[in-house]
Structure formats: C-alpha cells, structure tokens
Structure 1
Amino acid sequence: MFMTDSKIRWGIIGPGSIAKAFRGGLENAQHGVLAAIATRDPNRPDLAEDFPGARILKGYDALLADPDIDAVYIAVPHTGHAEWAIKAAEAGKHVLVEKPLALSAHEIDAVFHAHRKAGTFAGEAFMYRLHPQVVQLIELIRSGAIGEVRMIQSSFGFSMGKFQPEHRLFASSLAGGGILDVGGYPVSMARLIAGAAIGKPFADPVKVRGTAKLNDEGTDDWAAAILTFKNGIIAQVSCAVMANLDNVLRIHGSEGRIEVPDFWFAAGDRTRGPGRIDIIKGGKTETLSLGEERHVYSFEADAASLAIKEGRTEFPAPGMSWADSLGNARVLDIWRKDAGIEYSIERPSVRTRTIDNRPLGPNTGVIPKRTIPGLAKSASAAALGFEDFKTFSSGAILLDAFWERGGNLFDTAFVYGAGYTEKLFGEWHTSRGVRENAVLIGKGAHSPLCYPDVIARQLTQSLDRLQTDYVDVYFMHRDNLDVPVGEFVDAMDAEVKAGRIRGPFGGSNWTKERFDEAIAYAERTGKTKPQALSNNFALAEMLDPIWDGCVTASTPDFKQWLIDRQVTNFSWSSQARGFFTDRAGREKTDNEELVRVWYNDQNFGRRDRAIELARRLGKSPIHVALAYVLAQPFPSVPLIGPRTLGELDDSLNAFEIQLTPEQVKWLEQG
C-alpha cells in the first residue's frame, strides 16, 4: 500500500561524516527529506552548519519518540547498529543502517526479526548498489559482454598512516579493522557479479577462506579472502585500513575483462570525476560512462524512501535485500573467524546485556512452567537445544530470547560441539546471573565411551565448562548392553549423593526393558531410581534410527509404557526434523534422511491430518506436531532447536494450541 505523496521524513542518529554524506544525498532526493538529527551533544557548534534546516534533538531516544519522523538513518559506530535498529523497529520507525548492518549474521537476523514483527523497512546502506552504474554493469555481465565470468578481483583499502588504538578503525571495543568497515564492499560486489552471471540478484559462495594481518588491538590492518562459487567463479577480495590498495574491480571472463575503478563511488563522487566502466577485449578498451551528476547517496536515499512509501520492508534488487545482507555477513563472519578476530565487545565479560543493550528481562512469557517428577524447580514446558552456535555473541541472542519468553530449561551434552555448548551455557548464565533459576540438562557417556567409570570423569569436565557445581537433570547419552545396568545406576546414584546431579536422571536412547531393569535394580539395592528418559518422540514415528544407537518412544507399545509408568520423556527431534514442513512430501525424495527415517503411509497420513487441523486452527502443521508432544498423558517435554529468533517465535505458536485427547487420537490414526 502506498503512503501519501509527501516525502519521507528522515532523522539521523550519529551526526558524523557518513551522516553528512547521507544528508547530501537527501538534498538531491525526490522522495525523502532530512527533518531532524539526534546527538548526545546538541550544543556542538558545527551541527547547525553541517545539517542546515534540521531540528537538533538531544539523545537518540528522543528521535525515536518523535511522531514527525518516519525513518531513521543509523550512522553510529558499528557496535551500536543492531541496538538502535531494533529499538527503531520497536518504535515503529523504518531504518537505513550504515554498513555493516550489525557485527554478525546472527545480529543482522535479530534486526530483521524485529522489523519483520513491526512491519517496517530495514536496509543496509551499501550506497553503490542503488546507482545506475551497477544496473549497467549487471546488464553487461548478463549480456555476455566478456563471455562467461570466471574470476573476480575486488578491493577497497586505504591507509590511516599511523596505528591509533582508540580510533574506531582500530579499537576492538568498537569492532575496528578493515573487514567490517570496508571489506563488505568487495564481498558484496563479488556476490552481486557471481549472481548476475547466473541470472540471480546475488550468489553466496560455497567456500570462503580468509586471512589478515592483525594489530595490537586484535583487529585487521589489511586482509584478503578467496570466495569460491558453485558455478566455478572464484573471487579474490581484499581490504585495508593501513594499505593503499588499487581499489579496482576486475571481472575476468572467457572473452575479455571489465575494470571499474572505485566502484562504490560510481559517478556521484565529484572529486574523482565521472565514473567509468572499461571493457577490455582483444587488446582494445571501450570506456562506458553514464555521465551521472547526482550525488551518489541520493539514489540510496530515494530507493529507501520509495520502498517505504510502497510498503516494502526491504530493498528490491540490486539493493541489499535481507537475504543478501545475511549472505554478505556470513562471508564476513567466516573471513574474520579464519583471521582469528573476536572483538572485545563480543566477549561474555563485556556482553552482559541483550542485543538491544538492555538488562536481561524476567523469565516470564508464553512458555508455561510445569513440574517434573524428581525436580525441585519448575521447568519450562519445552527445553532449548543450542548446539549450532559457535560464539557467545551469537548464541546469547537466542538464549536471552528463550529466557524472556518463559524458557528456563536448557539441553546440553558433553559431546555437543566438542563441549562448546556447555562452555556457551556456562558463559551465558554467569554473565546473566540466572543459574539458580535455570534448569540444566547434562548428558555424558556417549558411544564409544559408554562405560560407568566415564560418567564421573566427564561430568567433572562438563561442570567446569558449565561454570557450575551441579546439573539439574542427567542422562547417559547412549546405552551399552554389554555392561550390567546396575553398574550405570551405581555411577549415577553416586553423583546424586555427591550433589552433582540434583534432579532426575536416566538414559537417552534406552529401551523400556532396560529402563525397567534399572528401576528394579535400584529398588533391590536402595539406590536412587532413574526417573526420566530422553528418547525420540514425535507425531511421526521414527522408522530407521537417525544415528546409530538411537531409540524412538513413538511406537504404540512404548507410548503405553510411558503412560503406565508416568516416566518423563525429554523428546529429541520432537518435530520430526522437518517432516511436517514443506521440505517433505510424497513427491519430494531428494532429502535422504527424511525419506529413510520418516517416509511411510502411516506417517504421511498423520502429516495429512496435521495439515488439515492446522488449517482449521490458523496455524502450521509444525505447530500441531509440537502441540501433540506437549499434549501427552505422561510427562512429555519436547527439546526444540531453533537457530534464529524467527524459528523460536514460530515454535512458540504451539503453546496457543490445546489439543484434546480426541484430537490426539485422531492425529495418531493409521
């Protein structure tokens, strides 16, 4: 839906040099106008001169609260981008955020999640992408002007001359270095060209290898990376804040090459003259120039303003769409990981607040609490698994959100991520101060080290990584039928008596016969009885083990056993690993795991009924599948593994569904 024909009223947060450049763009724009700037020091004498006609507001919150501002240009240092972009969404403001949109792909995803919920526009300010010269370049590639594209070379580098540890371009606390400040330009251009070569808006590389020369702050003075794309294109990208690179884009094809000097300035940088594209074939050079005189930032300002007026939430191509920005950030994430760069602002001791720079909120929300036999604390009705996260700064985003939505049950294991999941949880609960109100699941003794004497040794190491002296729930991660079950019960009972397991324990992937044997042994010997299982349980019955040693509890006889014994089952793969999404279907056989583990007539019948019920309830089949696990007549706790805030919030739709016993039986038919 279009807004009125009036111009979009822009406010600027962070009135520095980039903000002044954007102001220049707005002065030449047709659809937007600068209305106000926000600064922590409104008495600076140069503000009125640098931003003529704009209202000067004290503090960024004042700008977000201003009803006469439609959209916000965020030009604060990198470390404030995600915070203020999210706060802008919460205030109902559209945003254009200076590159990089945030410090990592996970932070960018959190920004987009906030704007998706708000229905507001969010764009990353790579101004060159909206310039007509880029359209011309794409047309040349797609028309085959140099044949098939085979290699791309792109650089953006300058020299500050002297290392200045407190300067934003060097300081680790401000996410300094060239990779985030200017490396995104050559990466985004390489991805754009690789995409144009196959008729798409962009392409993501299948392999990234990066390196860098680091300074005493641990940030990069100069850096380079190789990007390999699926279609065989290889891109060499480089950036620097302490080296004057040639700053030329070179596209090598089977019949020639294209060179574009300073591609990010295009024709709008009046100090460098008109932009140009050189096509070099057969020893001859043809030079193309648009002769465009408009300010380079005016195209970006107009594109963002027009998108807002049209009711869009993201830039159309060739601007940076949300998927494009996320793909670009993933490359930068790998590049700096390969280079060994972790900013001090990302470390647990510093990042003690949420992504939008607030103290962690209360443990209340849509996820209800329940009692679990043998556990003194109340636990959330679902547990969070988070083994996909590789850094504290990325994992903390999801952990914070799960906590603030009412979740306090966390699933870890000795083997997950070679111990990183445990380390991450330890860093998180320590930085947030929530250990005593959290319910922690630990697991150990995974095959091939599935022996009683391993339990104590691994638990000692786990507790050290977890930064705690106990777990609330404990599972042997696998069973070993060659070992008498009593030896395992003895080992876990010893940990209960030592206070290192303070709630129920049992087995993950144990048969009901083995569990009965363990209970009988404990009763005979006066040992603590196992009270919990962690087996697969889902609306779809697992036909073939996902991994060796896996056991499902979804069969009718196992389910009846759980009902009769009232044993708590912590269900992994509780949503059948995508079987209830559009990744699966009778005609979709490309996913070997889905086909092998879930495909049969009974499961497809259940899937059909989940789809039908979801349609009646206004939900998705995956929500019905999770609600089914929650609605069992025995203590049933699903383990969920969302990787993004969007996936987390989507899963929580299941808590709005209260299935009746009749609906549960209907879903199980067949």
Structure 2
Amino acid sequence: MSGTVTWGVLSTAKIGLEKVIPAMMRGEVAQVAAIASRDLNTARTAADQLGIAKAYGSYEELLADPDIDAIYNPLPNHLHVPWTLKALQAGKHVLCEKPIGMTADEAKALIAARDASGKRVAEAFMVRYHPQWLRAREIVGSGQLGEVRAIQTVFSYYNVDPNNVRNKPDIGGGGLLDIGCYAVATARYIFGGEPEKVVGLIENDPTFGTDRLASGIAAFSEGRRLTFTCSTQLVSYQRVQILGTKGRLEVEIPFNAPPGYGCSLTLDTGADHKGSGITRETVAECDQYTLQGDAFSRMILGDEPQEFGLEDAISNMRVLDALTRSAHSGHWEKP
C-alpha cells in the first residue's frame, strides 16, 4: 500500500513544537495537517509558526476531523491514557509519548479500545528507530561482544523549575517516568526479553515530591543485568555501556541524539586500559523523530510490521511500577 498518513497533534507541548512536529513534517509518508490546544489563539500561533494548515481550540474538535488518520499525543503523563482512549474511540491511530501511562494497570485499558477500533497504538520511543541503536543491536547479535551480560545506563539533567511538568508529582512528574523509562526500554531492546525481578532506590525532592534521583537493578534471565541511574537534578549527561565477555560497546549519545549529527559507537576489546583496543564507528546522520514518524505511518499503511506495540509499552510500564514498589518495600519486586 502506498500514500501518506495525515496527522493531528494534541496540544502545543514543547517537545512537539520544537522536536517532533518539525521532524515529522520532513518525513516521506507523514503529513501533519492539524494541531489543537485548549486555546484557539495558541493553536493558531503554533500552526502558523510550523506551517500547519488547521488549528483547533479544543482536542475534541481535532478528534472529530474526518481527514485526520492518526494522532500524536505529547500531553502530560496523566493525560496519555485518557486522550489516547478518546482518540481510539474516534477511530484514530495513536502515537503516544512515553510513558504510555501513569501505571501499567491504567494503560491496560487501552488494549480493549485498540482492539475495538482496529487501530494501531505505539509508545514514542524514537531511539528504537535511530541507526545507532539498530547497529548496537546488530553488534550484540553478531557475537562480537561475546556473551552480553551487563548494561549500565546513566541519564540526567538539571531542572528545578517548579512550573515544569517534570516537577509536578500529581501529573506524572519525576525522573523515573521521564527518563528512567529509556534505560528500561533500551535494555529490554538489547537483551530481547523481560526482567525477572528488579530493585529500586529512589530519593524524592523535599519540595516538589517528585523523584529526583532514582537507581535500579533489573535482573534478566541467564544472569544478565541492567544497572541504571537517572536524575532530574544532576549535571546533564547520558551514556550507555553494553558489556560482554569479549568486548564493550558504548553508545555515546544514546537518547537525545542531535538531528543531522553522526553519532558514534565505541567498541572496546578490552586489550588494555590505555584504549589500544578501542575503535569508533559513526552512524548515518538522521533525525530519529522523522524516522519514528515515517515508521509508524508505514505501519498504518500496511507497508511495515509493527515491532513494538501496546503490549510492549505496558511491559515497560510494569518494570517501572516494580521499581517504584521496590523503593517502598526495600525488596526485590517482580514486574
């Protein structure tokens, strides 16, 4: 099947305006035709800035537009499930920003709505479409690293703005849902499986009440481990180390890969500590949001299978839930 998919965007969220929408508009099969806000003037301003044809003053009006095939949902976390449900009920496909919901139990409600509508739903983990992650998974699968047994991930930024959604606990703020989800998703992606148990340690901001520093261990089968730390109040930094019995692979900018920049993968045979066994590989320049928009659009058109669907998103959410339970119980928890 050929053609294009016509998209509408729920809200004028910053990630949409600055990153996702412009990237999708450069795609081959994704056409962004409408944007909605709770304020019509806000929607019109955004539409004019981005060159989007239609602006709506309510989300309901956008969902009622018969010309819209798919919805991109970048609303705050507590609105992911409610508005994805409404979009499905309106007969639209949905690409929802991560995390898919506040909890796995909440997100399960999407399964029946998806099945009833016959539409596709996916969580917007754009990193899975970046060639550096495709290449990383290829290297792991090739055996170059030997038996891959450990992944170490760090992801942090510094944000103490009380008005920022990431610092509001009642709407799903905090580091674990915002960026810890990447550590879990990419480990599941590389290991090709689900963790059997997890343990988490979380420190909350005394003013905001959100988790500002979270660390966790996820134990996969065959002795494999993910260890990670994420924080909303540390220096901006991100790195992933994938360690095997014969080599180490480092993903240098794993999550916020800059568009149009050739990201590097570092392969180290461990010959010595001076780095004589290190080689670097640069992957093709791209915008991972463009690739994500086109990939999901091609799934809608029937040109590509959907590798990561709603069930995958809920599985990721179960791990995050278990990490939170563990932080309270002080024990290992099963997802």
So what's the TM-score if we normalise by structure 2? 0.91
1:357-436 matches, within 5 Å, as none
* Structure 1 residues 92 and 222, CA gap change in structure 2 (3 angstroms): same
Out of 297, 319, 327, the position equivalent to 1:305 is 297
Residue 280 (structure 1) aligned with residue 234 (structure 2): no
In 2, the alpha carbon distance for the partners of 1:130 and 1:241 equals 25
Question: For 1:252, what is the secondary structure of its paired residue?
Answer: strand
* Structure 1 residues 205 and 34, CA gap change in structure 2 (3 angstroms): same
Out of 3, 10, 13, the position equivalent to 2:10 is 13
1:637-648 matches, within 5 Å, as none
- The Cα of 1:28 is off from its aligned counterpart by 2.0
In 1, the alpha carbon distance for the partners of 2:56 and 2:303 equals 27
In 2, the alpha carbon distance for the partners of 1:113 and 1:262 equals 37
* Structure 1 residues 84 and 331, CA gap change in structure 2 (3 angstroms): same
Determine the structure 1 residue equivalent to 2:196.
206
* Structure 1 residues 311 and 91, CA gap change in structure 2 (3 angstroms): farther
1:137-536 matches, within 5 Å, as 137-160=136-159, 162=160, 164=162, 166-195=163-192, 203-216=193-206, 217-244=208-235, 246-266=237-257, 268-270=258-260, 273-281=261-269, 282-283=271-272, 284-292=277-285, 294-310=286-302, 316-317=306-307, 320-340=308-328
**1:91-138: CA deviations, max 9, x gaps?**
100000000111111122211221111100100000011122222111
* Structure 1 residues 50 and 208, CA gap change in structure 2 (3 angstroms): farther
Q: Does the CA-based 8 Å contact 2:104-2:321 persist in structure 1? A: yes
**1:146-201: CA deviations, max 9, x gaps?**
111111101221011x362x431111221110011111101111111111xxxxxx
Q: Does the CA-based 8 Å contact 1:249-1:261 persist in structure 2? A: yes
**1:299-341: CA deviations, max 9, x gaps?**
10001100001188xx633xx3333212111110011222349
In 1, the alpha carbon distance for the partners of 2:161 and 2:120 equals 38
In 2, the alpha carbon distance for the partners of 1:50 and 1:338 equals 45
* Structure 1 residues 13 and 51, CA gap change in structure 2 (3 angstroms): same
In 1, the alpha carbon distance for the partners of 2:170 and 2:113 equals 25
AA aligned opposite 1:102: G
* Percent of aligned positions that are identical: 32
- The Cα of 1:43 is off from its aligned counterpart by 0.9
AA aligned opposite 1:68: D
Q: Does the CA-based 8 Å contact 1:108-1:326 persist in structure 2? A: yes
* Structure 1 residues 54 and 285, CA gap change in structure 2 (3 angstroms): farther
**1:530-585: CA deviations, max 9, x gaps?**
xxxxxxxxxxxxxxxxxxxxxxxxxxxxxxxxxxxxxxxxxxxxxxxxxxxxxxxx
Residues 91-100 or 48-57, more deviating: 48-57
Which runs of 5 or more residues in structure 1 are unaligned?
Answer: 196-202, 342-670
Larger Rg: 1
AA aligned opposite 1:324: D
Q: Does the CA-based 8 Å contact 2:156-2:236 persist in structure 1? A: yes
Q: Does the CA-based 8 Å contact 1:28-1:295 persist in structure 2? A: no
**1:624-660: CA deviations, max 9, x gaps?**
xxxxxxxxxxxxxxxxxxxxxxxxxxxxxxxxxxxxx
AA aligned opposite 1:173: D
Q: Does the CA-based 8 Å contact 2:238-2:255 persist in structure 1? A: no
Determine the structure 2 residue equivalent to 1:93.
92
In 2, the alpha carbon distance for the partners of 1:279 and 1:78 equals 36
Q: Does the CA-based 8 Å contact 2:22-2:50 persist in structure 1? A: no
In 1, the alpha carbon distance for the partners of 2:96 and 2:176 equals 17
Determine the structure 2 residue equivalent to 1:63.
62
In 1, the alpha carbon distance for the partners of 2:303 and 2:29 equals 14
Determine the structure 1 residue equivalent to 2:333.
none
AA aligned opposite 1:275: C
Question: For 2:300, what is the secondary structure of its paired residue?
Answer: helix
Determine the structure 2 residue equivalent to 1:511.
none
**Greater relative contact order, per chain length (Cα 8 Å cut-off, separation 6+):** 2
* Structure 1 residues 297 and 77, CA gap change in structure 2 (3 angstroms): same
1:96-115 matches, within 5 Å, as 96-115=95-114
AA aligned opposite 1:170: N
Q: Does the CA-based 8 Å contact 1:27-1:33 persist in structure 2? A: yes
In 2, the alpha carbon distance for the partners of 1:234 and 1:331 equals 14
Q: Does the CA-based 8 Å contact 1:155-1:245 persist in structure 2? A: no
Q: CA RMSD in A?
A: 1.8
Question: For 1:244, what is the secondary structure of its paired residue?
Answer: strand
- The Cα of 1:46 is off from its aligned counterpart by 3.9
Determine the structure 1 residue equivalent to 2:332.
none
Q: Does the CA-based 8 Å contact 2:175-2:230 persist in structure 1? A: yes
- The Cα of 1:245 is off from its aligned counterpart by 5.6
AA aligned opposite 1:332: L
Question: For 1:53, what is the secondary structure of its paired residue?
Answer: coil
AA aligned opposite 1:17: K
In 2, the alpha carbon distance for the partners of 1:142 and 1:80 equals 37
Show structure 1 runs of 4+ deviating over 4 A. Answer: none
- The Cα of 1:65 is off from its aligned counterpart by 0.3
Q: Does the CA-based 8 Å contact 2:100-2:314 persist in structure 1? A: no
In 2, the alpha carbon distance for the partners of 1:245 and 1:208 equals 26
Q: Does the CA-based 8 Å contact 1:265-1:296 persist in structure 2? A: no
Q: Does the CA-based 8 Å contact 2:200-2:323 persist in structure 1? A: yes
In 1, the alpha carbon distance for the partners of 2:72 and 2:328 equals 31
**1:219-270: CA deviations, max 9, x gaps?**
201101000011211110221111126411001110110001121234x534
Count the aligned residue pairs. 321
Question: For 1:243, what is the secondary structure of its paired residue?
Answer: strand
Q: Does the CA-based 8 Å contact 1:112-1:122 persist in structure 2? A: no
Name the structure with the higher strand share: 2
